[in-house]
Amino acid sequence: MKIERLEIADILLLTSARLGDSRGFFSETFRADTFAARGVEATFVQDNHAFSAQKGVLRGLHFQVPPHAQGKLVRCTRGAILDVGVDIRVGSPTYGRHVAVELSAANWHQLWLPPGFAHGYVTLQDDCEVVYKVTDYYAPECDRGIAWDDPALGIDWRIPVDGIILSEKDKKHPRLSDAAPAFQFVR
């Protein structure tokens, strides 16, 4: 498994080998010892699987506040998405900055986002499936979000605004500057 640190060092890009033959392929998509060797301790408690039928479906930007903050290991198993993590840790040198990575069934990349990051993605094709592991259970009372189109974040979603498809919930998130601080940067 290849692991790269991105522009925001706490976000990791993982690429697993696919061993194929005439029957198909096998891929090891997570190993706790490989994560630990990179200084990442993650115990996953829940797997999530999302299907989006249309190009332009945007889910995000979501996070959970403590005591149920979540780290996420995200991959796209069908189609392609632009996956985005925004640093929302007050005091972080990268506060308000983001990383955007294309994850697809073809490139087999995964993105690790630790607690303290808002997460979202947009589908770049029809019929996308996204699978992700999380480090804490879904807790509706801790569920939060920030506006996907916050101009201060400067995210290029690669889809024209009139092509974005949002849930009613995701249309109502505040800008980062208006959101209650939830995480403090600690090094």
CATH number at residue 51: 2.60.120.10
6: which residues sit within 8 A by CB, 6+ positions away?
Answer: 12, 13, 99, 101
Residues 6+ apart with CB under 8 A from 24: none
Q: What pLDDT is stored for residue 35 in this prediction? A: 85
Q: Which is it for the CA torsion 104, 168, 141, 94, positive or negative?
A: positive
Catalytic residue among 62, 98, 109, 119: 62
For the chain, the domain total comes to 1
pLDDT of amino acid 187: 80
Distance CA 154, CA 97 (A): 8
The reported pLDDT for the residue numbered 71 is 97
Residue 121 falls in the annotated catalytic set? no
pLDDT for the residue 41: 83
Q: Where are the alpha helices (DSSP H) in 60-173?
A: none
Q: Enter the DSSP assignment of 72.
A: E
Given the residues 119, 121, 132, 173, select the one marked as catalytic.
132
Alpha-carbon dihedral sign for residues 163, 167, 168, 172? negative
What residues make up the domain containing 48?
Answer: 2-184
Separation CA 103–CA 68 (nearest Å): 26
pLDDT tens-digit map of 134-152: 999 999 999 999 999 999 9
Q: Which residues of the chain have pLDDT under 50?
A: none
pLDDT at residue 38, as a whole number: 83
The confidence score (pLDDT) of residue 137 equals: 98
pLDDT of residue 167: 98
| Cα–Cα distance measured from residue 112 to residue 33, given in angstroms and rounded to the nearest whole number | 15
**Residue 43: closest CA among 114, 111, 109:** 114
